[in-house]
Amino acid sequence: MNSKIKKTLFTAAAAALILGVFAGCSLFGKTEPSPEVSPSPSPSESAVPTATPSVTKEDIQKSLDGAGDSVIDISWSPDGEAVAFIRDESGSGSVFLWKVGSADAELVSAADPTTDGLSWAPDSRHFLVNVGHMGPGTITSTLVDAETLEIMATDITTASMSPPVWSPDGRFFALSTDDESTGDIAILIYAVASKTSVSVLQSNNKYGPYVVEKWENDTVTYTEISSTGERAELTLQFGE
C-alpha cells in the first residue's frame, strides 16, 4: 500500500472517530445513550425567586383585633416596631411581644391577674409591666428588655397612686414610695442600666404619697397633697 492510500485511510479513520464521539459511539462499537437536554427556558419562563413578605404593623394589629377579648392591654412601642400585650390562655394571662417582621409573638412572662398596664420607654428599648395589688396599695413593676426579652428586674415597688414615669431619653424612670408604717414618702429615680434607685425627695406626710405626673426635659412634675386635702403641683429640676 502506498503512502497516498495510507494517508487516505488514516484520514477516514480519524473522521470516523470524531463522528463516533459526537454520535455517542465508542471504538468498541458500544453505543451510549445521548443525554437528554431540556430546552433552556425563555426569559419569561425563568424562575424568579420571590421574597417572603414580612409581617407589617397593620397585619399584627389586624390579628390582635381579631383575637377579641382574649387579648388585652395592647401597647405599641413609640417607634412602632413592636407591640406588647397580654393574651388570655386557658384562664391565665401571659405577656407577649410581637415585633414587626416576625411571623408570631414571643412569650415574655406570665401575667398577674391584676396587671395594671404596660408602659414603654420613649426610646422603645424597654417596657414596664405594672401590676396593681389590692392589699398593700402598691404597684409592682417588672422591667423588660424589648430586644432580648430579658427580665431585667422585678418587684420595683411604687405607691399605687403613681405608676412609674419614664424620662424622655428612656434611661430612667421616676416613682413614688409610701411607707405606711412610718408615713415616710419619697420620690425615687431608677436607673435602667445599673438597676438601682436614688431618693431625690423625701418627707413625712400622713396625708398621702407624692403623685409623679410627668417627666419633660429635665423637669419632673409631681403633686403633693396637703393636710387640708388640697393638691399642689410642684416640680423637681435636674441638670444645670
Per-residue pLDDT at 20: 42
Return d(Cα 164, Cα 170) in angstroms, integer. 12
Instruction: Give the residue among 194, 201, 196 at the shortest CA–CA distance from 178.
Output: 201
Average pLDDT (168-178) is 95
Cβ–Cβ under 8 Å, residues 189 and 212: no
Cβ–Cβ under 8 Å, residues 103 and 114: no
Per-residue pLDDT at 54: 86
Return d(Cα 15, Cα 2) in angstroms, integer. 20
Return d(Cα 67, Cα 82) in angstroms, integer. 17
Average pLDDT (93-121) is 91
For the beta carbon of residue 80, count every other beta carbon within 10 angstroms. 10
Per-residue pLDDT at 213: 95
Per-residue pLDDT at 32: 46
What is the percent of the chain where pLDDT is above 70?
A: 75
Domain residue ranges in the chain: 54-111
Residue 133 pLDDT > 50: yes
Instruction: Give the residue among 113, 117, 119, 118 at the shortest CA–CA distance from 89.
Output: 113
Torsion of CA 96, 87, 118, 140, to 10 degrees: -100
What string of DSSP letters covers 93-107?
Answer: EEEEEEETT-SS-EE
Per-residue pLDDT at 100: 96
CB-facing half-sphere around the CA of 32: CA atoms within 13 A = 12
Pairs from 126-135 (Cβ < 8 Å, separation ≥ 24): 126/152, 126/170, 126/192, 127/75, 127/77, 127/84, 128/156, 128/163, 128/164, 128/173, 129/84, 129/95, 130/163, 130/164, 132/160, 133/160
Average pLDDT (215-233) is 91
**Tens digit of each residue's pLDDT (9 = 90 or more) over 5-21:** 343 333 444 344 333 43
Residue 4 pLDDT > 50: no
C-alpha 7, offset from chain centre: 83
Instruction: Give the residue among 180, 181, 176, 182 at the shortest CA–CA distance from 156.
Output: 176
Total-model pTM: 0.74
What is the percent of the chain where pLDDT is above 90?
A: 54
**Tens digit of each residue's pLDDT (9 = 90 or more) over 57-78:** 999 999 999 999 899 899 999 9
Residue with the bigger pLDDT between 161 and 30: it is 161
Cβ–Cβ under 8 Å, residues 102 and 56: no
Q: Is 22 helix (H, G, I), strand (E, B) or coil?
A: helix
**Tens digit of each residue's pLDDT (9 = 90 or more) over 179-208:** 888 889 999 999 999 999 999 999 987 788
